[in-house]
Chains A and B, each alone.
Chain A
């Protein structure tokens, strides 16, 4: 089952300049009770986004109407904590295609890439400049170019190269899925099992 391809994206950004955003904030545990992958976007950042009566909190960035876009900008160590893939599903389901931070938790990064949600790790300095540009002008457009591994502020703002392992990059560019690949290896795996016995 091919995943959605990612090649380039140009979009405005939603800034969330908070550090150590854990997956319990991205989607609280009490919303993990579904048995399918759909619909988690509704509960993205649930307890920051809504008050306890379920009313949107106007001071939260997803509600204030000032910022929209498909790129989420976040403080360092994003996605720490629980391994729940629901966090990546929620971000994607909400409509984000890229998350930019200066540092990602490992499991979150894997989960995101496995769902075609690109995590772009940039330097602290570049992240600070991104926040500055986007907060000063919410219509600022940012381009994420996976092929060239570059993120840039349009039209001629700062730009930076980012790392991604070439296997994952290739998967995203072509929509390849790890599970398909591993299933195609079943015979090879069985051979290996025999050898190891």
Chain B
């Protein structure tokens, strides 16, 4: 029988199938952070239970950490308490913690891959919906709630019904100035924010194959924004090359054995999916969102839909969204005034993203009335950016690089976009208030963010190429 990569990984992790119920699914790697784990440890304590396999859980502090002066005590009390609680919970339970100021600290979905912890064929979970990022390596990775964090701590397993399967094929060659962020924003704009709910997605096709690992992570990262349980890409030579030599990557004779196993993972020819979609890469423009969910996006030269283009039933929600943004149906996106540019997050906070942003702004100057926050995804990304001269190039163009963390993506720390202000962000969500109460977010790629930071207006990066 032919199998998809998803089936192959899922099936070999089923400890037990409950008749007419979920599978008991074994979890290989569990990441935790300060915000969604304290109640899980609290639950374990109430049960008088120990962590079942502490060595399979890795912790980092990322969601509410400050992005300046990280060597000082965290100023905001509740954040400090959460970060300290994480530290105590990890110490008491013998869990490895890459806390603030640790050379491996960073956003959980950046550090897993960069340390080589994330590997093909694994099941990976974290109490964070962007865990789908790790799917770029050909693993089953998905976000879970805190009760499920407790389940994994207690048993290394989860109760999960097997999702349906979807393959999204993107074929062809991207135009210059169009990135993987644009691919995923385009797909979500086509199928909507609930278009893949109930499915686990495999991304395939030549346009996906040709992407680097970091670009693939950007695609898988946003799977949840169309409702998918997760998204993955079959591992190939690009994947193996990326993993080789990293801290936790297999080494010596183990490496060859693993690679052999990984090579057998891709979906069998003729494997069947519950749903299959096809997109043409050449037709994708740099994308930008105009509304308050990631499905409300358009090619940058396009316009906000007119009311007539929206289903009757959805018109109220559409208008509510535009009212929040203070935009109007049928308006053009190019040229809109922007107050803030946020470059970072688990979607676009990796070294390639910083490279692409900095090489774009090199020799240019930041628009004076734009405030920018450039936030590397991890300490290692920060270090590499310094070593490669990216930090210096950014400074010469009037930009400043901050310290790693989730930052303004969800504005749990001090990095909040003020009420009513417009931000072009390389992050993943443009929900109302996501980047601060009343903040208005437009999602885009690092290139579009860079072009916008230079002009102070929504700008098509292709006009500079």
A residues bordering B, Cβ < 8 Å?
A: 1, 17-20, 22, 24-25, 28-30, 32-37, 47, 52, 75-77, 80-86, 88, 103-107, 110-111, 114-115, 124, 128, 165-168, 178-183, 185-186, 188-189, 192-193, 196
A18 to B434, CA, bound (A): 18
8 A-B pairs closest in CB distance: A167-B21, A33-B78, A85-B145, A111-B145, A182-B155, A35-B38, A77-B194, A83-B143
Q: Which of B18, B145, B163, B431 has the most CB of A within 10 A?
A: B145
Q: Is B245 an interface residue (CB 8 A)?
A: no
Interface string of B427-440 (1 = CB under 8 A from A): 00101111001100
The answer to whether B128 has its CB under 8 Å from any CB of chain A is yes
* Closest residue of A by beta carbon distance from B152: A182
Contacts A25-B431, A106-B197 given: A188-B16 contact, CB under 8 Å? yes
A90 to B320, CA, bound (A): 23
CB distance from B32 to the nearest CB of A (A): 12
Is A29 in contact with B36, judged by CB distance below 8 angstroms?
A: no
**Alpha-carbon distance A115/B22, docked complex (angstroms):** 17
Contacts of B47 in A (CB 8 A): 1, 179-180, 183
Q: Is the C-beta of B85 less than 8 angstroms from some C-beta in chain A?
A: yes
Q: Could you list 11 A-B pairs, sorted by A, with CB under 8 Å?
A: A33-B81, A37-B42, A52-B437, A77-B227, A80-B293, A83-B128, A103-B194, A111-B146, A167-B159, A182-B151, A185-B155
| Contact residues of B between 293 and 340, Cβ < 8 Å to A | 293, 295, 313-314, 316-317, 320
Kindly name the residue among A35, A107, A110 whose own CB sees the greatest number of chain B CB atoms within 10 A.
A35
- Contact check, B22 vs A182: say whether CB atoms are below 8 A apart: no
Is B432 a contact partner of A47 (Cβ separation < 8 A)?
A: yes
Smallest beta-carbon distance A111→chain B, Å: 4
Whether A76 contacts B194 by the Cβ 8 Å rule is yes
A21 to chain B, nearest CB (A): 9
**Which A residues lie within 8 Å of B10 (CB)?**
none
Q: Complex Cα distance A110/B150, Å?
A: 14
Residue of A nearest to B37 (CB): A35
- Within 41-58 of B, Cβ neighbours of A (below 8 Å) are at 42-43, 46-47, 49, 52
Do the beta carbons of A179 and B197 come within 8 Å of each other? no
Known: A1-B43, A107-B224, A166-B21. 10 other contacts (CB 8 A): A18-B317, A29-B412, A29-B434, A33-B78, A33-B81, A35-B81, A111-B147, A168-B21, A178-B151, A179-B43
Most buried by B among A29, A37, A103: A29
B155 with A30: CB separation less than 8 A: no
Per the bound structure, the CA–CA distance linking A186 and B26 in Å amounts to 12
Give A107 to B432 CA distance when docked, in angstroms. Answer: 20
| Cα of A124 to Cα of B229 in the assembled complex, Å | 23
Interface size class of B (residues with CB under 8 A): 35 or more
| Bound CA span A183–B431, Å | 37
Residue pair B156, A33 in contact (C-beta under 8 Å): no
B154 contacts chain A at the CB level, 8 A cutoff: yes
A52 adjacent to B419 (CB under 8 Å)? yes
- B129 part of interface (Cβ distance < 8 Å): yes
Taken together as a complex, chains A and B put the C-alpha atoms of A111 and B198 apart, in Å, by 15
B254 at the interface (CB under 8 A from A): no
Return the contact of B412 from the options A32, A107, A110, A179 (Cβ within 8 A): A32
Q: Evaluate contact between A20 and B155: CB separation under 8 angstroms.
A: no
Given the contacts A36-B39, A76-B194, A111-B145, A185 and B24 also touching, CB distance less than 8 Å: yes
**Contacts A167-B22, A182-B159, A189-B26 hold; do A35 and B39 have CB atoms under 8 A apart?**
yes
- A168–B18 alpha-carbon span in the complex (Å): 11
Contacts of A36 in B (CB 8 A): 38-39, 42
Instruction: Check A84–B161 contact: CB distance below 8 A.
Output: no
A128 and chain B: residue at smallest CB distance? B313
Contacts of A47 in B (CB 8 A): 432-433, 437-438
**What separation, in Å, do the CA atoms of A81 and B197 have in the docked complex?**
11
Contact between B429 and A84, CB atoms less than 8 A apart: no
Docked complex: B226-250 residues within 8 A CB-CB of A: 227, 229
Contact yes or no, A182 B157, CB < 8 A = yes
CB distance from A116 to the nearest CB of B (A): 11
B9 to A: closest C-beta gap in Å: 13
Pick from A82, A167, A183, A185: contact of B15, CB below 8 A.
Answer: A185
Q: How far is the CA of A183 from the CA of B47 in the complex (A)?
A: 10
**Closest CB in chain A relative to B84 CB, distance in Å:** 10
How many angstroms between the C-alpha atoms of A166 and B81 in the bound complex?
40
B82 in contact (CB, < 8 A) = yes
**Complex Cα gap A88–B320 (Å):** 24
Take A18-B317, A106-B198, A188-B16 as given contacts and tell me if A83 and B36 are in contact as well, using a CB distance cutoff of 8 Å. yes
Give bound CA distance, A167 to B410, whole Å. 35
User: B26 contacts A192, CB within 8 Å?
Assistant: yes
Asked if residues A83 and B127 are in contact (CB atoms below 8 Å), the reply is: yes
Q: What chain A residues lie within 8 Å of B4 (beta carbons)?
A: none
**B35 close to chain A: CB less than 8 A:** yes
Bound-complex Cα distance A37 to B24 (A): 25
A103→B39 CA distance, assembly (Å):
28
Knowing A32-B412, A35-B81, A105-B227, the reply to whether A189 touches B197 (Cβ < 8 A) is no
Query: For B46, what are the chain A residues with a Cβ–Cβ distance below 8 Å?
Result: 1
Q: How far is the CB of B15 from chain A (nearest CB, A)?
A: 5
Cα of A186 to Cα of B157 in the assembled complex, Å: 9
Say yes or no: A33 contacts B82, CB within 8 Å: yes
Cross-chain contact of A25 among B36, B197, B227, B432 (Cβ < 8 A): B432
